Amino acid sequence: MASSVLAAPLLLLGGLWALALWASLWRRLIEEQAADALAGAAALGLTVRPASVRGRVVARGQVGGQDVAVLWLGGVSGLRCRVQVRDGEATAPFLAEASALREALVRYGVAL
């Protein structure tokens, strides 16, 4: 009886630990693959930070007077990005270079 009562919390903790490890590995991969784009985002004045428990890195701020968020995402679907400008949102290919980040922002209506 006692072992079954302890098994559920231990399984839950093990699952949460595995999810945290999975997200951490994706964040590291994103930070390595997109180092130039992340530096470019910071140069544009965006605040770059990893999401706390998810496999993503987020850059938020204002560029050209518009609220902008760029999310570098990892997971089962692979590496990809999401660009949010004003009220719109679009999925973009993985932005690894600062020039690709700038092109994506211009494509989605941000005046640099």
Strand order in the sheet with 88-92: 47-50, 56-63, 66-73, 80-85, 88-92
Q: Which structure tokens are listed for 111?
A: 């005046």
Domain locations in the chain as residue ranges: 2-107
Q: C-alpha distances in angstroms, 8 versus 1, 17, 48? A: 12, 14, 37
List pLDDT tens digits, range 77-110: 889 999 999 878 888 899 999 999 999 999 888 8
**What is residue 1's predicted lDDT score, i.e. its pLDDT?**
53
**What is residue 86's predicted lDDT score, i.e. its pLDDT?**
84
List pLDDT tens digits, range 18-67: 888 888 888 899 999 999 999 999 999 999 998 767 788 999 999 988 89
